[in-house]
Amino acid sequence: MSHNEILENLDNIVKQAICELQKINDHTAIEQWRVKYFGRKGLFADITSAIPHISPELRSETGKKINTAKKQLMQMFEEKLGFLKNKEASDTDVNFTIPGIIPDVPNLHPITLVSREIVGIFQKLGFGIHVGPEIETDFYNFEALNMPENHPARDMWDTFYLDEDRKLLLRTHTSPVQVRVMQKLSPPLRIIAIGKTFRRDAFDASHSPVFHQVEGLMVDKNITFSNLKAVLIFFLRELFGSRVRVRFLPSYFPFTEPSAEISISCVICGGKGCQTCGNAGWLEILGAGMVHPEVFRKSGLDCKNITGFAFGAGIERIAMLKYGIDDIRQFYLNDKRFIQQFG
C-alpha cells in the first residue's frame, strides 16, 4: 500500500467511523464500534501495519496523520459514551408521586439573631453600618487608638501577630473601624461595626479565642457624655426590656477619656442577687467613653471643633445574658439541638 493509498484509506475510515458513531444509541453498539476501529485487529491497527512498507521519509508524516485521526475519533468516542451514561441515568424510572423529604433547616444562630437585633436598634437612631478588615495593622489596632509601642495598655489584649515584625495581626477589637471611618468620612458621624475579633484566650466556659464585638461611634459638634448615656440607655432597654436599670461607673480605656464601665441590673434575678451576677445584682455589659483627642488627631480630624463618644460590647456576652446560656462554647459546637432552641 502506497503513501497516497494509506491517506485515502485513512480518510475513508474516519468518515465511516463518524457516520456509524452518530447512529449508536446503546452501550453494546458503542463497544462493538470501539473494537472495530481500535481493537488489536481493528482498522487502525491494520492501517498502521502498512507504514513500514512505504518510503522512510514519508513514515513520520503518515504516522502523525494516523495518530491525529485516532485522537479525533477517541475524543468523539468519550463524548458519546458520556452522553449514553447520562441518558441511561435520566431514563431510570422515577416515581414522582412519592412525597419529598422536608429539608432539615435549623434556626438562625443566636449570634446572628442578636447581631440583627442590635443593628435594628441602632438603625432606629440613624446609625450606619460599617465593616473593617479582620487582619489589621499595628497602627489601626493600637497606635491610632492612643496605644504607642510598649504602652502598658497593650497587655489588656493577648494578640495574634502574623509576622515577625509584629506589624500585622488579627484584630483584637472592632475599635480600629473607628479610625478607618474617621479617615474616610467627615463629621457628623453615627456608625456601628459588628464583626469577629481574636485574642489568645483559653477556650473555656467564658472565653474564646474568636468572638464577636459591636463597636459604636458618634462624632459631631457639642457631643457630650449625656448623649452617650441617652443612646446606651435606649439601646440596653430595647435589648433587655424597659425595666432594666443601667449603671455607669468610672473605668479606663486608652482611646476614651473619660471612660465608663456600663452595667445592667441582672436579667436573671432582677437585681436581687444570684449566682450569675455574683450576688451583686449587676452585670457588666459594655465599655464606653468620650473619644480621646489623640484618636481624633491620628484620624486626621481637628479635635478643637468636634467631640464624640465610642462604645464596645461583646456579642456573645449579650447573647448569653439574653438567652440564659452559661457556656460560651455552645456557640461554636455546631449542635443542631442547641440552634433549634432559638426562633
> In the chain, which ranges are E strands?
128-129, 135-137, 160-161, 168-170, 189-198, 210-220, 246-253, 256-265, 282-291, 307-314
- Selection from 242, 213, 239 nearest residue 313 by Cα: 213
Report the distance separating Cα 318 and Cα 324, nearest Å.
10
In contact, 255 and 175? CB cutoff 8 Å: yes
Report the distance separating Cα 261 and Cα 232, nearest Å.
12
**SS3 category, 83:** helix
Instruction: Provide CB contacts within 8 A for 149, sequence distance 6+.
Output: 138, 142, 143
Instruction: Provide CB contacts within 8 A for 109, sequence distance 6+.
Output: 331, 339, 342
- Selection from 5, 232, 216 nearest residue 128 by Cα: 216
264 DSSP assignment: E
Report the distance separating Cα 28 and Cα 81, nearest Å.
11
All 3 cell numbers of residue 110?
443566636
Residue 257 marked in a binding site:
yes
In contact, 225 and 309? CB cutoff 8 Å: yes
What's the CA angle centered on 227, arms 124 and 171, to 5 degrees?
Answer: 75
Burial of 120 (0-12, 13-18, 19+ CB in 10 A): exposed
Dmax (CA) for the chain in angstroms is: 107
Annotated binding site: 257
Annotated binding site for Mg(2+): 257
